[in-house]
Structures are given as structure tokens and as C-alpha cells.
């Protein structure tokens, strides 16, 4: 349980400390980020660590379509008079016809669960403040972008909508979605406020929407005064958990928020909020409607879980190659605890003639995307990785996830959250999947039992030397998935 914080006092103190301090946002390279990390982070034996912003970027860039969540929505209304209705079609939102045309051009047929619940609230009059949480890939970006575009008065030539993202890349990505959606609305103009974008002194922005990072927005809005923050009537915080939990971003967001008008509509969107972040968000967003999708534990119903007893690392390798041989038309992801283990396993499998890919924190974002694109295209059937990928990939063909090492935290206790996200790489898009855990000691068996108890799900014993048993389970998964394939998708290709 996190310590209770007096956010009102914290914000006031932070605002005082930030006087005359407006910093631009710099995107650190992977190498510099590792150097700033904890002691031993460069050691191949150390667990992988990576920034939340980097993980979020990776998750968005590699995702090719929307995940249709089947989880129920939980809605908390602070103001009982606030309207909250669900819609089943985009037409029911009474959108600008040209915006609607852009929505359909992008391949949207009907609103996703988060969109059908959030958009009526975001488009209501009077405007409603919203804190929305939904798992990655369910259409959050499209939801707030559509709301941003709908709130613009194109006859007024000044910035009216401000959207903040934690990184340059995420801001650009949001802008690309907005540009696609506004394809048939040339009267709506947008401007990126990110590194590399410069405007002459004395300029006054005439674009309607600003999409950028906190540092550049502070420079433009307060230091150079090329647009008026008081005239912004829609403020969107994308990846709100990262923005709030990251000290530098949080300070900058507080400064920006302080200079907005009291009537500005607030939209906070994120995949996750811990209690401390939620406390902060609810402090600065007045009378919010809070929308959450139930946690991803529901996806466990789609995943059959097994464990394999192994005496040592070599037996674990033998188990992996047995499992590999039964993957068939599907693909597998193997999770290791350290880069050293991942490198050893990939080298050994490659020497034995297996087509495998390896992805760890040693690679740049661009290199990771290249590896993942090859994996998605089926050029490699097996992807060996660390926790750097536990939250970041949706590949329809992944039918098996193998935990070569069970996930543990810094205290060497069971890391149930990471386990959930790891095995959640299979069973995507409502399909079935298999998770196999390799157990090589009494300690790892105790960790497995803790995970089993935490999720209240039985993890069954599997004899990895019995190829027939593995193949039987794989065929069952394939059969179920093929039968339901026709109804798996409601949307296509949100991101390029």
C-alpha cells in the first residue's frame, strides 16, 4: 500500500519550486538510459529494466490493430448528474460528417468498448472531465483524438486543444492518427510542439490543435508566449500514468495545468493507474467521470497453463526444443530473466538449426521494431526475450508462451503482475493460448505455487518428453481458434 500523499500541498510546493524553471524534454538513448539506471544494470546477469515511456512507445509502434476487449466496464461517476450513455455506432454520436468519413476510411466499423463508453461523455454538453483506463490496444488514442477533433471551432484561428505525450515519438504517433482521422476536414489545422520544431520569435500560432511534449509546450506557452494557454478548452494527457509517475514530466504537467482556464475540459487516458497516480489525477481533474476496464486477469480464462519439471538448465533447453517442435503453424515467445540467459538460449538454438529471434534491452527501439516485424511476418517461429517485451506485443499467431525462468521481483519473490503480462502475450484477440513454465528447483516450484494461488488458477503438470501430449494441446488450441476466427476482429489497422 502506497503512503498517502497530500497532493494539494505537493502541487503547491512543486509550483513554488518550479518558478523560472522551464526545461525542454530530451529523449535519452538506450545506452544513456542504462547508464542512469540502477547499479548492475549493465550486467548481463541483472534483470532487464526499461522506462515506462519506452515500453509504452514500443507497445504502440508495433501494434497493428485494435484488441477487442471482452472485459466489462466499471464506471464511477463523481457527479450523479453527469450524462453517461453507451453507443453502438459512430453515427449515434452525431459527428461532423467529414470526421465520420475519416473514421470509416481508417477501417473502424463500430466503436470499441472504451470508445462507445467514453465518447458520449467526452462529446457531451456541458463538457465532462474524464479519467479513462483501458488495456493497451483497445482504442484509447482514437477515442480522445476523435473528441479533440470534434471540439474544434475552425473559425477561430488560435490553439484550442492541447494534447501532451511523454515522448517525441508518441506525440508524432498521436498526430498521425489525428491526421488520418481528419483527412476530410482540411479546415482543422494541427501543430507539433516537439523537439526540432522551431517558430520565429513574435509568432502567434493559428493552428487549432497542439500535440507535443511538456517541455516544448512550456517553452511555447509561457517562455515565448506564442499561444495562450488560457484559451485552451480541451486538455488531453496521454499515457497519464507515465506523465504523472515520472518526476520531470509531472513537474511540467503541473505547471501547464496551473495555467489552463478553470473551465478547460480534462481528458486523462492510460492503460494503468496505481493508487498513488489515481489520487494525483483525481486531485487535479475536478469532478471526473472515471472509466475503467476490468484488469487483464480475465484473459487467463483463455490460457491453459502448464509446468514442466527440469533438473537443470540443459533439461530446460531440452524441454524448449521439444515444445518448439510442436509449435506447428503458430509461434512461440520464450521469456528469460536476464539478457545473459536469453543470449545463451538463442545461440544454442541457432547452432542446432532453429530459426529464432532475440530481443532484449541491448537493442534500440528501431532494432526492436525490426525484430518484431520479422517475427510478425513469420520469418522466425520463436522469439526469445526478457521482461522488456512482457507488456508490448500483440501477435495473433502466438499460441505458446514459455517461461524459461519464472518472473521474480528484486526480492526474488514471485512477480505475479509480470507473469500475467508475460502469458498474456498469447490468448490475444479473444483466442486461446498455452503457457508453459519451466521449473528447475524447489524455489521455483514455490514461486509457481504462489502464482497459482494468487490467480486462483490451476497450473497443470506437463511431461515435456511426451510430444504427443504437447501436440494434442496445441491442436486443441488451433481448432478452437480457427473456428472462432471469423468473429475475432471488429477493427483493422489503426497504426501503420
196-205, 319-328, 413-422, 461-470 — most confident range: 196-205
Task: From 394, 388, 420, select the one nearest 493 (Cα to Cα).
Answer: 394
Q: Which residue has the higher pLDDT, 453 or 72?
A: 453
Measured at the CA of 270, the angle between CA 266 and CA 273, to 5 degrees, comes to 100
* pLDDT tens by residue, 286-333: 889 988 755 544 445 678 899 999 999 999 998 888 876 655 546 888
Region 242-260: mean pLDDT is: 84
Q: Which residue has the higher pLDDT, 262 or 72?
A: 262
Band of pLDDT at residue 140, cut at 50, 70 and 90:
confident
Q: Which residue has the higher pLDDT, 1 or 100?
A: 100
Q: Which three cell numbers stand for residue 215?
A: 517541455
For position 332, what pLDDT does the model report?
86
Give the list of residues 6+ apart from residue 197 with CB closer than 8 angstroms, or none.
Answer: 191, 212, 216
Band of pLDDT at residue 24, cut at 50, 70 and 90:
very low
For position 28, what pLDDT does the model report?
34
Region 197-221: mean pLDDT is: 93
* Residue listed under C-alpha cell 519550486: 17
For position 18, what pLDDT does the model report?
44
Q: What is the mean pLDDT of the chain?
A: 76
Q: Which three cell numbers stand for residue 361?
A: 534491452
Q: Which three cell numbers stand for residue 180?
A: 488520418
11-15, 365-369, 405-409 — most confident range: 405-409
In this predicted structure, the answer to whether residue 120 has a pLDDT above a threshold of 70 is yes
Topology annotation, domain 298-487 = Rossmann fold (3.40.50)
For position 227, what pLDDT does the model report?
96
For position 65, what pLDDT does the model report?
46
For position 491, what pLDDT does the model report?
24
Q: Which three cell numbers stand for residue 14?
A: 512543486
Domains 7-294 and 298-487 alike in fold: yes
* pLDDT tens by residue, 81-94: 444 456 788 998 88
Cis ω on the peptide bond leading into residue 126 (within 30° of 0)?
A: yes
- State how far the Cα of 391 lies from the Cα of 417, in Å rounded to an integer: 10
Prediction pTM value: 0.58
Strand partners, 290: 76, 131
In this predicted structure, the answer to whether residue 409 has a pLDDT above a threshold of 60 is yes
Superfamily name with CATH number, domain 7-294: P-loop containing nucleotide triphosphate hydrolases (3.40.50.300)
Give the list of residues 6+ apart from residue 126 with CB closer than 8 angstroms, or none.
Answer: none
Band of pLDDT at residue 13, cut at 50, 70 and 90:
low
For position 44, what pLDDT does the model report?
62
Q: Domain coordinates of the chain in residue numbers? A: 7-294, 298-487
Band of pLDDT at residue 214, cut at 50, 70 and 90:
very high
Q: Which three cell numbers stand for residue 485?
A: 476466427
Q: In a 3-state reduction of DSSP, which class is residue 175?
A: helix
Region 184-195: mean pLDDT is: 94
- Tell me what percent of the residues of the chain surpass a pLDDT of 70: 67
In this predicted structure, the answer to whether residue 123 has a pLDDT above a threshold of 60 is yes
In this predicted structure, the answer to whether residue 478 has a pLDDT above a threshold of 90 is no
Give the list of residues 6+ apart from residue 465 with CB closer than 8 angstroms, or none.
Answer: 322
Q: Where is average pLDDT lowest: 83-87, 116-120, 310-314, 479-483?
A: 479-483
Give the list of residues 6+ apart from residue 294 with CB closer than 8 angstroms, or none.
Answer: 71, 72, 73, 74
Helix, strand, coil in percent for the chain, rounding step 5:
40, 15, 45
Band of pLDDT at residue 455, cut at 50, 70 and 90:
confident
Q: Which residue has the higher pLDDT, 257 or 394?
A: 257
For position 181, what pLDDT does the model report?
94
In this predicted structure, the answer to whether residue 40 has a pLDDT above a threshold of 60 is no
Q: Which residue has the higher pLDDT, 154 or 15?
A: 154
Say if residues 28 and 301 touch (Cβ distance below 8 Å).
no
For position 212, what pLDDT does the model report?
94
Say if residues 288 and 129 touch (Cβ distance below 8 Å).
yes
Q: Which residue has the higher pLDDT, 137 or 311?
A: 311
Region 182-190: mean pLDDT is: 95
For position 222, what pLDDT does the model report?
93
For position 394, what pLDDT does the model report?
57
- State how far the Cα of 427 lies from the Cα of 432, in Å rounded to an integer: 5
In this predicted structure, the answer to whether residue 64 has a pLDDT above a threshold of 70 is no
Region 360-378: mean pLDDT is: 78
Region 137-156: mean pLDDT is: 90
For position 54, what pLDDT does the model report?
54
Amino acid at each position: 500500500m502506497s503512503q498517502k500523499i497530500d497532493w494539494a500541498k505537493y502541487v503547491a510546493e512543486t509550483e513554488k519550486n518550479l518558478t523560472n524553471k522551464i526545461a525542454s524534454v530530451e529523449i535519452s538513448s538506450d545506452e544513456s538510459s542504462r547508464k542512469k539506471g540502477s547499479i548492475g544494470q549493465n550486467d548481463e546477469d541483472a534483470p532487464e529494466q526499461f522506462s515506462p515511456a519506452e515500453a509504452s512507445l514500443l507497445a504502440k509502434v508495433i501494434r497493428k490493430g485494435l484488441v477487442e476487449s471482452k472485459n466489462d466496464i466499471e464506471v464511477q461517476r463523481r457527479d450523479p448528474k453527469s450524462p453517461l450513455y453507451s453507443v453502438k455506432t459512430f453515427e449515434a454520436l452525431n459527428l461532423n460528417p467529414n470526421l465520420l468519413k475519416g473514421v470509416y476510411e481508417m477501417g473502424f466499423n463500430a466503436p470499441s468498448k472504451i470508445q462507445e463508453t467514453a465518447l458520449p461523455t467526452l462529446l457531451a454538453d456541458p463538457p465532462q472531465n474524464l479519467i479513462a483506463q483501458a488495456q493497451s490496444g483497445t482504442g484509447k488514442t482514437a477515442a480522445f483524438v476523435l473528441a479533440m477533433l470534434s471540439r474544434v471551432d475552425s473559425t477561430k484561428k488560435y490553439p484550442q486543444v492541447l494534447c501532451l505525450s511523454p515522448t517525441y515519438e508518441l506525440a508524432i504517433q498521436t498526430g498521425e492518427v489525428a491526421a488520418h482521422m481528419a483527412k476530410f476536414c482540411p479546415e482543422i489545422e494541427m501543430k507539433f510542439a516537439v523537439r526540432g520544431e522551431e517558430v520565429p520569435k513574435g509568432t502567434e500560432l493559428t493552428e487549432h490543435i497542439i500535440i507535443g511534449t511538456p517541455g516544448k509546450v512550456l517553452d511555447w506557452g509561457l517562455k515565448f508566449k506564442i499561444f495562450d494557454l488560457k484559451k485552451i478548452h480541451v486538455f488531453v494527457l496521454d499515457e497519464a500514468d507515465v506523465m504523472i509517475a515520472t518526476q520531470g514530466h509531472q513537474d511540467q504537467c503541473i505547471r501547464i495545468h496551473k495555467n489552463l482556464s478553470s473551465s478547460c475540459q480534462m481528458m486523462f487516458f492510460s492503460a494503468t493507474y496505481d493508487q498513488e497516480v489515481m489520487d494525483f489525477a483525481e486531485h487535479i481533474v475536478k469532478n471526473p467521470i472515471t472509466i475503467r476496464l476490468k484488469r487483464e486477469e480475465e484473459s487467463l480464462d483463455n490460457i491453459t497453463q502448464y509446468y514442466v519439471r527440469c533438473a537443470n538448465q540443459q533439461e530446460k533447453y531440452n524441454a524448449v526444443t521439444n515444445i518448439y517442435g510442436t509449435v506447428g503453424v503458430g509461434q512461440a515467445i520464450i521469456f528469460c530473466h536476464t539478457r545473459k540467459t536469453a543470449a545463451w538460449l538463442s545461440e544454442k538454438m541457432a547452432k542446432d538449426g532453429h530459426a529464432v529471434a532475440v530481443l532484449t534491452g541491448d537493442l534500440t527501439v528501431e532494432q526492436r521494431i525490426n525484430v518484431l516485424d520479422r517475427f510478425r511476418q513469420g520469418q522466425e517461429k520463436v522469439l526469445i526475450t526478457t521482461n522488456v517485451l512482457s507488456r508490448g506485443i500483440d501477435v495473433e499467431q502466438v499460441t505458446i508462451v514459455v517461461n524459461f525462468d519464472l518472473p521474480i521481483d528484486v526480492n526474488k519473490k514471485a512477480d505475479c503482475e509480470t507473469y500475467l503480462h508475460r502469458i498474456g502475450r498469447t490468448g490475444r484477440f479473444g483466442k486461446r493460448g498455452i503457457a508453459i513454465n519451466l521449473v528447475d528447483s524447489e524455489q521455483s516450484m514455490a514461486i509457481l505455487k504462489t502464482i497459482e494461488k494468487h490467480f486462483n488458477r490451476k497450473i497443470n503438470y506437463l511431461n515435456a518428453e511426451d510430444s504427443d501430449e504437447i501436440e494434442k494441446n496445441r491442436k486443441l488450441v488451433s481448432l478452437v481458434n480457427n473456428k472462432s476466427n471469423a468473429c475475432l476482429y471488429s477493427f483493422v489497422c489503426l497504426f501503420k
